[in-house]
Chains A and B, each alone.
Chain A
Amino acid sequence: MVRVSGVSHRPTPLATALALLLAAVSTAILSPTVAQRVAIVAAVVGAGLLVVGGREFATALPLGWLPTALGAALVLGSILRGETLADPRHSIELVPGLVGIALLGLGLRPLRGRFARRFVSAGLAAMVVGVGLVGIFEGAGPLRLLGATAAAIAAWDVAEHGISLGEQLRTDAETRSVELLHTGATSAYGAVTVVVALIIYDYGATLSLGALVLLLGAAVTLLALLYR
């Protein structure tokens, strides 16, 4: 009698791939040089292998540990490479993003089902810290920071969506249309917020100190209310 072996509630594959891609985009926006981009590609491929290594397939893969080992090596290698770049600024731009990609990969594998969301959140935190560091140390222009932020949050959202789909449905359920629409909608909305923020930036130069104080107060209050 054929039976479906253990129900696999892992994050769905498409969302996993899209999330890793968006995380890579976020990091790449901050890191313009070719050497950095190579490291990013290596990290994404490594994270992808980590995810693949954690999956169960209908027919067991020969050397099932190989993808995991290779993935871990690639991710660690890319982070090491990021650390040892000639220009320390380049390292600051790159390394938090790579750590974020790695954490995202671990969350989407997932290392432990219960902690999938925690890993993904930690990945977002790492990428956000990266944006913050670039903002502080380089006084980077707004477009880079805004784009990287939006992409990082979109990556987190898509990953969480994939986790939820995996938990409620299964890895083998047909979910692609939903994943694509969700990713598209979040990315589009993220792009809109970037544009709005840029408009505010242009307008912001003319703001008086009093207006800024009012705006800040209102913003912090509204955010606190949003969190509730």
Chain B
Amino acid sequence: MTVRATGRWRGIVAVALLFVAVGVLTDRPATLLAGVVGAGLAAYPKLSRPPTVDLELERHLGDARPACGEPVTVTTRVTNTGSHTLADCRVIDGVPAMLSVAGGSPRHAAVLRPGETTEFSYAVESEPGRHQFDPATVIARDITGAHEVETTVAAGTEIQVEDAVPELPIRPQPDGYAGRLVTDEGGSGIEFHSVREYRPGDPIGRIDSKRWARTGELTTVEFREERPASVLLLVDARPAAYRAEADGRPNAVAHCLAGVEQLVSALSDTRDAVGLAAFGRELCFRAPGVGTDHETALWQLLATHPAFDATPPGQVRARGGAEGIGSDDELDRQATLLRKQLGTDTQVVVLSPLSDEHIVETVRTLAASGHTTTVISPDVTAEGSLGQRLARRERRHRLRALRGADVPVVDWDPETPLGTVLLAEEKRRWSA
């Protein structure tokens, strides 16, 4: 909370002084008297104190899980829970960073008596992913406007734009075990897999008794073995990854975050252990785990960790779009740290726009050190200027270089929902 004196009335002192001086010097009592009015108004701000702000904020979404592209109506209600009237209460709602306002205004000002509620609504565009509202900024002024209290009021609202991920890009582990949530390796699971010849040592319960009765042959029923995978979702949020197709469009990191959020929700419905990591402002790492507490911790990380900030770091633009200046060493440092903490059997799903070679090298090192690695890469390049076309071509080469190193890359056009892209990828792989 910040309390500041605006000083907006100070100029009126000059008016009062002018009248006093002119009145005295020209011997006009009535003009001198106008100085009294000036002085009275100059003293006006001294009559009030900074307001005490006690507010409660609620948001209602027209549709909490809208389809992609549909505008969502947000209705925000602000209630004065304090015991003083707020004469000038200005609210700027915390629209999720990656959503833009499609209609109406997320800003509002109202006079709020104790207990009174004011309401305003506006519409936001929906982009895929799970979007958390930021706390609303509140600026409360006293009636004279001489004091201003700036604070924030939070309400944990989020919009989840519908886009289910049907299949996860989890790959067979090098040891032959399929890493899907139900592995194809025969075992003692619950789902029927195959029947094979009996071998001594097979549990009696798994002998196919019907067949033995019918043919006298001893066979063992094999079930699919469930073997949970351990998956680390790694977001490339280095300054170089904050690139967007056009102004006003979400940047690549925002797309990656939306993707990660979808993957986390999808994976938490399974028995797979999910972990989170990010390269960026600082290294973020949360080892794969299962359970509700772990899941809550992941969402907490996504919402609050500085590395998961979809807003580009301030200096990106100021440096003329400096692409990774001085950040190579930082990336190496973070990658080494990450590899040290990473369990050997953990698969890594990297989400990155592949905006430079350093991340390609990092992924290759990761894959070379034995981690099964997949890359999901939102494409924010465009045809346009020479530089843009070059960047698009460079990215294409990087994809190819990764694929050449046996790292599958899902080329994701963010216009298409990630689920659809992954599904298509799945089909392609089956038919191949």
A and B, one complex? yes
Residues of A with Cβ closer than 8 Å to B?
1-4, 121, 124, 128, 131-132, 135-136, 139-142, 145-146, 149-150, 153, 156-157, 160-161, 164-165, 168-170, 172-175, 177-178, 181-182, 185-186, 189-190, 192-194, 196-198, 200-201, 204, 216, 219-220, 222-224, 226-228
A96 to chain B, nearest CB (A): 13
Residue from the list A3, A4, A165 in contact with B90, Cβ < 8 A: A165
- Inter-chain CA distance A170–B109, complex, in Å, is 10
- Inter-chain CA distance A145–B24, complex, in Å, is 15
Q: Is B158 at the interface (CB under 8 A from chain A)?
A: no
Whether A4 pairs with B102 at a CB distance below 8 angstroms is: yes
Residues of B with Cβ closer than 8 Å to A?
6, 8-20, 22-24, 26, 28-31, 33-44, 46, 71, 87-90, 92, 100-105, 107-111, 120, 125, 139, 143-145, 248
Known: A149-B38, A170-B105, A226-B43. A182 touches B139 (CB 8 A): no
9 closest residue pairs by CB, A with B: A193-B40, A135-B31, A173-B107, A175-B109, A197-B36, A169-B107, A227-B13, A142-B30, A178-B109
Residue from the list A4, A139, A156, A222 in contact with B28, Cβ < 8 A: A139
Whether A136 pairs with B26 at a CB distance below 8 angstroms is: yes
Could you tell me the dominant secondary structure of chain A's interface residues?
helix
Known: A153-B41, A174-B105. A169 touches B92 (CB 8 A): yes
Task: Please give me the residue from chain B that is nearest to A120 by CB atom.
Answer: B11
Pairs across A and B, CB under 8 Å, 28 listed: A2-B103, A135-B23, A135-B31, A136-B31, A146-B30, A150-B37, A153-B12, A153-B15, A157-B41, A161-B145, A164-B6, A164-B8, A170-B105, A173-B107, A173-B109, A174-B108, A175-B108, A177-B110, A181-B87, A181-B143, A182-B145, A185-B144, A193-B41, A196-B36, A197-B34, A220-B17, A222-B39, A227-B14
Q: How many contacts between A and B, using CB within 8 angstroms?
A: 182
- Inter-chain CA distance A174–B17, complex, in Å, is 37
- Inter-chain CA distance A174–B43, complex, in Å, is 30
Q: Which residues on A sit within 8 Å (CB–CB) of B88?
A: 178, 181-182
- Inter-chain CA distance A216–B19, complex, in Å, is 12
A29 to chain B, nearest CB (A): 12
Whether A146 pairs with B139 at a CB distance below 8 angstroms is: no
Residue from the list A132, A160, A222 in contact with B22, Cβ < 8 A: A132
Task: Please give me the residue from chain A that is nearest to B123 by CB atom.
Answer: A2
- Inter-chain CA distance A165–B31, complex, in Å, is 33
Whether B102 pairs with A169 at a CB distance below 8 angstroms is: no
Whether B41 pairs with A150 at a CB distance below 8 angstroms is: yes
Residue from the list A2, A135, A190 in contact with B30, Cβ < 8 A: A135
- Inter-chain CA distance A197–B87, complex, in Å, is 27
Known: A190-B37, A219-B35. A149 touches B102 (CB 8 A): no
